[in-house]
Chain A
Amino acid sequence: MSYFSDIYNGIKTLLTGMSVTGKYFLHSQKGAITQQYPDNRETLKMFDRFRGEVVMPHDENNEHRCTGCQKCELACPNGTIEIIWDRQVDPETGKKKKMIEKHIYHLGMCTMCGLCIEACPTDAIKWAQNFENSVYDRTTLTRVLNKPGSKLMPGVED
């Protein structure tokens, strides 16, 4: 007689399964969990710790905090950061000093691991929150973080 009992149990479990999806169907007007991405671009705000892209913040008179100590370059596992520096005479102290010329950042090779920002002694680089990093031509992925003509902020030592 298990023939009819397992038909009955089978149908009972099928119906309870359908009740779950039915419940969702009836409450579907409560709104879907999916985000309408291209429409909600203005309102969409990522978390402030979101790792979008490494940037070097500059203050109003175009000064940054990077002393060119290359700690981030050593910490980076993928060789994403290259720092081009040369020794120049520092106008105030007259001594030869390591001045940063270009802080090159290959976004294409970056794995967003955050070790460079961890290793930077002077907090020169920060995470930006933008996630739309796709580009048409790969060379634009290689970025120079320090703006042209920017100088080191006074009072930031190695």
Chain B
Amino acid sequence: MNLSLSITKNIHDWLFNMMPETAASLVEMTIIALVYLAVFAVTGLFLVLLERKVAAWFQLRLGPNRVGYHGIFQTIADALKLVSKELTGTVNADKFLYNLAPYFVIITALMALAVLPFSAEFQAFDINIGIFFLIAISSIGVIGILLAGWSSNNKYALIGAMRSGVQTISYELSVGLSLLTVIMITGTLQLSEIVEVQRNGWLIVQGHIPAIFAFMIYMIAGTAETNRAPFDLVEAESELGAGFHTEYSGMKFAYFFLAEFINMFLIASIATTIFFGAWLSPFGITESLPWLGVFWFLGKTLVLVFLMMWFRWTFPRLRIDQLLTLEWKYLLPLNLMNIVLMAIIVWLNLTIQF
């Protein structure tokens, strides 16, 4: 069954003996980029549909059920609608920055996906500073939001953008720190190494108590990072209307919309890679079929995505100053205590190994 895995190998070999070194790797990279772009556009659409269906089930509704069987093609219809929409904008918006902002957001969202280990072979870009790269990329997304808010010359958008700036900067801190506590066990930042370490027990099991704390803090900070759920002050419907993307329509709005869902998928997949052993099946029950790894990875990610959706449809919104007190007064001290606790455990190597 490693036919599919050998596909990448023989494409790789076919390319390399066909063309000179640089041209082959260039072509290979464009193929990978196109494949990733297509796959994650589809996952983005699927996640939007999943969100609307899950929201409906929470709220005693049926969710989209008109387009296609049980509304499967609803998001495709939405995408077509957004593509065909006119790209309006405010009169004296700062044209260049206004048009640049969506690309910032969508590119950072897609770039971060390259590093994720979907399965043993399906990892596009296995660099040795994996986690560090992910955290750095996720902070660039904020610049896009700030640009969008400021340049669309709309007071509500400006307030939304300023809020998102403050929120993302302060929550990156606890995202980084909570990942750091768990990396102390693995000792390496390279994602594939991290998965190797988890062969004998997922990190959440290895690090037992501090790892669970780290996971909880990470999930809170991760939802805040993507401006979702209790922290969706950026586009708080009841206060700011649509926040920073008020003035965007058509495809530009679609970028923001898609980027938000891909960020959600990204946060969930980082959590599965770090805490739940990306494509490792629990206790190695399906090691014999390596291609099953992808399904394990996607399954765990979907569970975490469902958890984030559950947050969204239950909790009210925090106020901006409570948001910051939560981060600086609660998450940060807890994180530091957690790191010290994990350090002691790793030093006395009390981690549970199978």
Contact = CB atoms under 8 A, between A and B. Distances in A.
A–B contact (CB under 8 angstroms)? yes
Interface string B112-147: 000000000000000000000000000000000000
Contacts of B58: 21, 24-25, 28
Residue in B56, B60, B330 with the greatest tally of chain A CB atoms within 10 Å: B60
B330 A21 contact: no
A32 B314 contact: no
Interface residues of B, number: 15
A113 interface: no
A17 B57 contact: no
A21 B56 CA distance: 11
Interface in B33-88: 54, 56-62
B60 A21 contact: no
A115 interface: no
A17 B60 contact: no
A32 B310 contact: no
Contacts of B334: 7
B315 A14 contact: yes
B224 to A, nearest CB: 14
A34 B334 CA distance: 44
Given A28-B57, A32-B60, A34-B60, A17 B315 contact: yes
A28 to B, nearest CB: 4
Given A24-B60, A32-B61, A7 B314 contact: no
Given A18-B311, A28-B58, A33-B61, 13 more contacts: A7-B330, A17-B315, A18-B310, A18-B314, A21-B58, A21-B314, A24-B59, A24-B60, A25-B54, A25-B310, A28-B57, A32-B60, A33-B60
A126 B5 CA distance: 75
B103 interface: no
The 5 closest A-B pairs by CB, nearest first: A28-B57, A21-B314, A32-B62, A32-B61, A33-B60
A28 B58 CA distance: 7
Interface residues of A, number: 14
A123 B315 CA distance: 55
Contact of A28 (B60, B311, B314, B330): B60
Interface string A34-78: 101000000000000000000000000000000000000000000
A24 B60 CA distance: 7
A22 B310 CA distance: 8
Interface of B: 54, 56-62, 310-311, 313-315, 330, 334
A9 to B, nearest CB: 13
B222 to A, nearest CB: 16
9 contacts: A7-B334, A14-B315, A18-B314, A21-B314, A22-B310, A24-B57, A24-B59, A28-B60, A34-B62
B155 to A, nearest CB: 33
B56 A32 contact: yes
Nearest to B63: A32
A24 B310 CA distance: 11
Interface string A3-38: 000010000001001101110110010001110100
Given A7-B330, A32-B56, A17 B314 contact: yes
B318 to A, nearest CB: 12
A139 B313 CA distance: 46
A24 B58 CA distance: 6
B172 to A, nearest CB: 22
A40 to B, nearest CB: 13
A7 B253 CA distance: 38
